[in-house]
Amino acid sequence: MSRIGKLPINVPSGVDITIADGVITVKGKLGELKQSYDHEVIDIQFENQTINVQCNSEEGPHRAKHGLYRSLIHNMVVGVSEGFKITQELVGVGYRASNTGQLLDLSLGYSHHIYFLLPEEVKVETVTAKGKNPLIILTSHDKQLIGQVAAKIRSLRKPEPYKGKGIRFQNEDVRRKAGKASAKK
């Protein structure tokens, strides 16, 4: 039995849940999300502003889906009621970020600018302050989508281990290497 799957999901007021034909729909003030599930294996019950996810089978793959679907539904409820926010930091001399609407313009030390078009569900904001690293702030109600977009932006210039330059998540620890200090003897 999944420990995570057994936990009930509390639904705040203002969030509407619809369960029909193997699809759960969650609507809130920030948007609407849908998730299909295997209704032969997973049973979802909504009553008294709580959602309970139950597994109908004890087979290994079916038990694995129990906690997965509970987590996905919980992320949907939190997303449409509160939303998610990811902050990324550009570390490096001359690294810049700016946006016009959904188009993100990045200058990452290459010979050209990189233009990144974000999906409509993800809102972007860039912050540039003197003496501090530029920041990219992403907000969305869809946790899967915002994570995928943040990972794609980070892959454009991953933090390198010698100087630590690149795009990193805020407060991320980058393991540093010593370099050639031992060769100077």
Per-10-residue mean pLDDT, the chain, length 185: 83 93 93 91 91 87 87 95 96 93 94 95 95 95 96 95 92 87 60
133 lies in the same domain as 57: no
pLDDT confidence of residue 65: 87
Beta bridge partners of 86: 138
Are 7 and 64 within one domain? yes
Choose one of 43, 65, 81: the last residue of a domain: 81
pLDDT at 75: 96
pLDDT the model gives residue 106: 95
User: Are the C-beta atoms of residues 91 and 168 closer than 8 Å to each other?
Assistant: yes
Domain termination residue (choose one: 64, 81, 98): 81
Domain membership of residue 180 (yes or no) is: no
* CB neighbour list of residue 32: distance below 8 Å, 6 or more residues apart: 25, 26, 80
* Domain at 69, CATH number: 3.90.930.12
* Assigned domain for 70 exists: yes
**Structural domain boundaries enclosing 117:** 84-169
Q: What is the pTM of this model?
A: 0.88
Residues 65 and 131 in one domain: no
At 185, list the tokens. Answer: 């003897």
pLDDT (0 to 100) of residue 27: 95
The C-alpha atoms of residue 44 and residue 24 are separated, in whole angstroms, by 9
Count of structural domains within the chain:
2
Clarify whether residues 69 and 104 are in a common domain.
Answer: no
* 50-55 β-sheet, strand order: 9-10, 50-55, 42-47
Do 66 and 136 fall within a single domain? no
d(CA 73, CA 110): 41
